[in-house]
Amino acid sequence: MATFVIRRLIASVFVLLAATYIMYNLVALSGDPLEDLRQSSAPNKEQLIESRIRLLNLDVAPPLRYFIWFANVITGNFGVTVEGRSVNALLEQALGSTVQLVTISTIVAIFLGLIVGITTALRQYSGYDYSVTFISFLFFSLPIFWVAVLLKQFVAIGFNDFLEDDPQLPLLLIAVLALVSGALWASVIPGSARRKAITFAIAAGATVALLTVMNLTDWFSSPSLTIGGVAIMGIGAAVGFTAMITGLANRRALIAALIVAGLGIALYYPFQYNLSFYVTEWWMLLALAVLTVLVSGAIGYFAGGHDRGPVIRVAIFTGLTAAFVIALDRFMLVWDDYANSGRVRGRPIATIGASTPNLEGSLWVEGVDIYTHLLLPTLALILISFATYTRYSRASLLEVLNQDYIRTARAKGLSERTVVVRHAFRNALIPIATIVAFDIGGLIGGAIITERVFGWTGMGSLFQNGLQRVDPNPVMAFFVIVGGLAILFNLIADLVYAALDPRIRVN
């Protein structure tokens, strides 16, 4: 095992070295780095050219200049750009910005992709399955810059216009949404035609009711979940997770989940109107999430009886959902102030940039600002990677469902839930885990176009600007980070596979 890892690492380092060499020469030879100076009419043109040549060692041919660059990189110095700025500083900033951009979209895309992939696999060859197949092909064929312009036009500008004065959803839209949600639930939940009709009616009715209440309470200009919303979601999560993970027959799990949800509801008022004012840094929010996991885990442990594992899991998922909903409500509390503040002026959804300049406010206001700026790029990224995850998880689950041990499990008389969740789903996750590891490695470099369209100064713009100016240093910094991560995560993907699937041996 250790030999395998070391051998792979050594081979990878050499591969990366060779790749950087090729890349460096490609970039350096792709144009003339002095072009802008040669065309300039500055009186001290010769002098400027001279100083740039000295700054970037342009008098050394690229194949040899690589080694100067390489000697610096070994010491952790990525050099300077054409303008003489330190690449290290740029890199640090760009990395942070890109990580912020891609993290949420990846998590959401994986989550949604898994859910949709699993439901389509379970309802294989249904109308729902066909529609999702078509939609994922469509998403897969979309150029991201095209989607981005559409999103800017319809989501950002359209929604901001909608918020302008007295936002009320039109009746037609409510009717359409109700039909869509009815059709969706009816196709996902199995049963006879009569049961499907009932499902359809309930889902459509609930949608109409929810949207009407939202209209009546002026929800779009001052959104809030209130304690009622938190209670519904908390208890819903408790029941839902119990039904999914252990089945409602397991009373201990249900009780533990309900206790956790109740605790969340009880903490709603103290948190919203007192405790949350003490949360001023992001790490505090993270600490609260960890605390939630610990407390709900403990509740699950003590309520668990002889089969603790699943009960603890149910409790933790419920606790996290409740905590998330409460935090969401806290963010919503400042929405009105944020949207009407002097900087935002009633048009909250931003089309470019990573944050509103000079915006001052609490952590909660900052959070809303991040949200409004992340919304569009995140949607664009999700649309595109969602398709892949859906197809993978569907394929993977179908493959597992055809295995003999699934038939054995069914033959033993296990419930469909146990077969799917405990036997099939877990094994279907193995290949997906490796794909996820692989994708995370490719993420940092994967959003070049998205960054450009939405005006983020991240890794993509570092790369792109460098390339435009025929400036190898920032491009190579981008490449070393992206390539290094890709190689590292490739290795991790292999190890994860070997760890999860005992049939695979790493040698």
Partner 1 sequence: MTNSSIPEPGHSAGSVTDAENNLELKEIEGLSQGQIVRRRFFRHRGALVSMVVLAFIIILAFSSVGFAFSFFGIDIRTPGWWQWTWTQIPTPQNGGAPTLSLVPEFMGGDGVRFGDHPFGQDEVGRDIFAVVMRGTQQSIVIMFVVGIIGVTIGTVVGAISGFFRGWRDSVLMRFTDIIITIPVIVVGAVVGRAVGNQGAFALAVVLGLFAWTGLARLVRAEVLSLREREFVDAARVAGASNRRIIFKHVLPNAIGVIIVNATLLMAAAILLETALSFLGFGVQSPDTSLGKIISDNQAAFGTRPWLFWWPGAFIIAIALCINFIGDGLRDAFDPRQKRLPSSRALARATANRNDLARAEALVGTRGADNQVDGSLAPRSTTTLDEGDERPTHGSRGDA
Residue 472 CB, nearest distance to partner 1 (Å)? 10
Q: Report the half-sphere exposure of 179 (CA within 13 A, side-chain side).
A: 5
Distance from C-alpha of 185 to C-alpha of 190, rounded to nearest angstrom = 9
Q: With respect to partner 1, which residue has the nearer C-beta, 152 or 252?
A: 152
Distance from C-alpha of 358 to C-alpha of 343, rounded to nearest angstrom = 8
Residue 84 CB, nearest distance to partner 1 (Å)? 23
Residue 289 CB, nearest distance to partner 1 (Å)? 28
Residue 125 CB, nearest distance to partner 1 (Å)? 6
Residue 264 CB, nearest distance to partner 1 (Å)? 36
Distance from C-alpha of 347 to C-alpha of 339, rounded to nearest angstrom = 7
460 close to 354: Cβ distance less than 8 angstroms? no
Q: Residue written as tokens 């929810």? A: 210
Q: With respect to partner 1, which residue has the nearer C-beta, 151 or 320?
A: 151
356: helix, strand or coil: coil
483 close to 16: Cβ distance less than 8 angstroms? yes
Residue 34 CB, nearest distance to partner 1 (Å)? 16
Q: Which residues pair with 80 in a beta bridge?
A: 86
195 close to 130: Cβ distance less than 8 angstroms? no
Q: With respect to partner 1, which residue has the nearer C-beta, 121 or 376?
A: 121
Q: Report the half-sphere exposure of 395 (CA within 13 A, side-chain side).
A: 10
Q: Residue written as tokens 């109700």? A: 178
Residue 437 CB, nearest distance to partner 1 (Å)? 13
User: Cα–Cα distances in Å, from 496 out to 1, 259, 355, 425, 430?
Assistant: 13, 35, 36, 17, 8
Q: With respect to partner 1, which residue has the nearer C-beta, 31 or 305?
A: 31
Q: With respect to partner 1, which residue has the nearer C-beta, 361 or 455?
A: 455
455: helix, strand or coil: coil
Burial of 370 (0-12, 13-18, 19+ CB in 10 A): middle
396 close to 425: Cβ distance less than 8 angstroms? no
* Beta-strand runs (E) in 212-324: none
Q: With respect to partner 1, which residue has the nearer C-beta, 292 or 378?
A: 378
First to last CA, the chain: 7
Q: With respect to partner 1, which residue has the nearer C-beta, 258 or 448?
A: 448
Residue 63 CB, nearest distance to partner 1 (Å)? 16
Burial of 453 (0-12, 13-18, 19+ CB in 10 A): buried
List phi, psi (to 5°) of 263.
-60, -40
User: Cα–Cα distances in Å, from 406 out to 125, 165, 394, 417?
Assistant: 20, 56, 16, 12
Residue 40 CB, nearest distance to partner 1 (Å)? 21
Residue 58 CB, nearest distance to partner 1 (Å)? 18
Structure token pair of residue 430 = 């193995």
Distance from C-alpha of 317 to C-alpha of 154, rounded to nearest angstrom = 35
Count of C-beta atoms within a 10 Å radius of residue 28? 22
Q: With respect to partner 1, which residue has the nearer C-beta, 296 or 473?
A: 473
Q: With respect to partner 1, which residue has the nearer C-beta, 48 or 398?
A: 398
Residue 442 CB, nearest distance to partner 1 (Å)? 6
Residues in touch with partner 1 (CB under 8 A): 11-12, 14-16, 18-19, 22-23, 26-27, 29-31, 121, 124-125, 129-130, 133-134, 137-138, 140-146, 149, 152-153, 381, 384-385, 388, 391-392, 394-395, 398-399, 402, 404, 435, 438-439, 442, 445-450, 452, 463-464, 467-468, 479, 482-483, 486-487
Residue 80 CB, nearest distance to partner 1 (Å)? 21
The DSSP result for 29-93, as a single string, is HTS-TTHHHHH---TTHHHHHHHHHHHHTTTS-HHHHHHHHHHHHHTT---B-TTS-BHHHHHHH
Distance from C-alpha of 334 to C-alpha of 327, rounded to nearest angstrom = 12
Q: With respect to partner 1, which residue has the nearer C-beta, 31 or 270?
A: 31
Q: With respect to partner 1, which residue has the nearer C-beta, 327 or 380?
A: 380
Q: With respect to partner 1, which residue has the nearer C-beta, 29 or 275?
A: 29
